[in-house]
Amino acid sequence: MSKLSAFLFLTLNGFYKGPEDDISWHSHGEEETRFSEEMLSRDNILVFGRKTYEMMADFWTTDMAHEMSPVVAEGMNRAEKIVFSKQAIPDEIWENSRFINDDLIGSVRFLKQTEQKNMTILGSGNIVSQLASHNLIDEYQIMIDPVALGHGTPLFSGMQHALNLKITATRTFPDGTVLLTYQTQ
């Protein structure tokens, strides 16, 4: 059975994206980059919604990404990727990608039973919220940036019940970013 984790960046006031899907408020320092390298070395299957997938593919396949963060770029490009989308996406966008346009909840239940590797959702807050509502995420890694926004899209928007979590780890980065790791109870 595969474990499903979610990794997201949040503002202090709980937004995973600002107005008009802006995420420019998030920045990585050297230590956060090393953390990303460590996480990619676990060889998890990366899971995305369409918007996040397209944004990630547009960046991590560029020469700039390879210059800025070669180890992370290599890991992102090499990783197996699953994309949930109701819209068709061309196969040539990013290597090692497969697309699922079936029922999200049923598909994730099936994948958790059949995949040999663990899976990690990167960003994709809408998918995280839907899967959290059905208790399908085993672990949450939430990186809180030391910034607050006046408007944005909150994580867990639309949930119909409380999500009880147990903190399992914390980490503070030199720039003030805090990583909180939770498991579902």
- In this prediction, residue 91 has a pLDDT band, given cuts at 50, 70 and 90, of low
Distance CA 162, CA 175 (A): 31
Kindly report, residue by residue over 16-61, the tens digit of the pLDDT: 999 998 999 998 888 988 999 999 989 999 999 999 999 999 999 9
Full-model pTM: 0.93
Residues 6+ apart with CB under 8 A from 79: 40, 43, 44, 45, 46, 96
pLDDT at 135: 94
pLDDT at 159: 85
pLDDT at 100: 92
Residue 90 has pLDDT above 70, yes or no: no
pLDDT at 109: 97
Q: How many CA atoms lie within 13 A of 146 on its CB side?
A: 9
Distance CA 36, CA 22 (A): 21
Who wins on pLDDT, 173 or 160? Answer: 173
Residue 157 has pLDDT above 90, yes or no: no
pLDDT at 92: 67
If you average pLDDT over residues 65-76, what whole number do you get?
A: 95
Residue 76 has pLDDT above 90, yes or no: yes
Kindly report, residue by residue over 92-141, the tens digit of the pLDDT: 679 999 999 889 999 999 999 999 999 999 999 999 999 999 999 999 99
If you average pLDDT over residues 179-185, what whole number do you get?
A: 95
**Closest C-alpha among 178, 127, 179 to residue 157:** 127
If you average pLDDT over residues 171-179, what whole number do you get?
A: 94
pLDDT at 9: 94
DSSP letters, 108-160, are HHHHHHH-SS-EEEES-HHHHHHHHHTT---EEEEEE-S---SS-EETTTT--
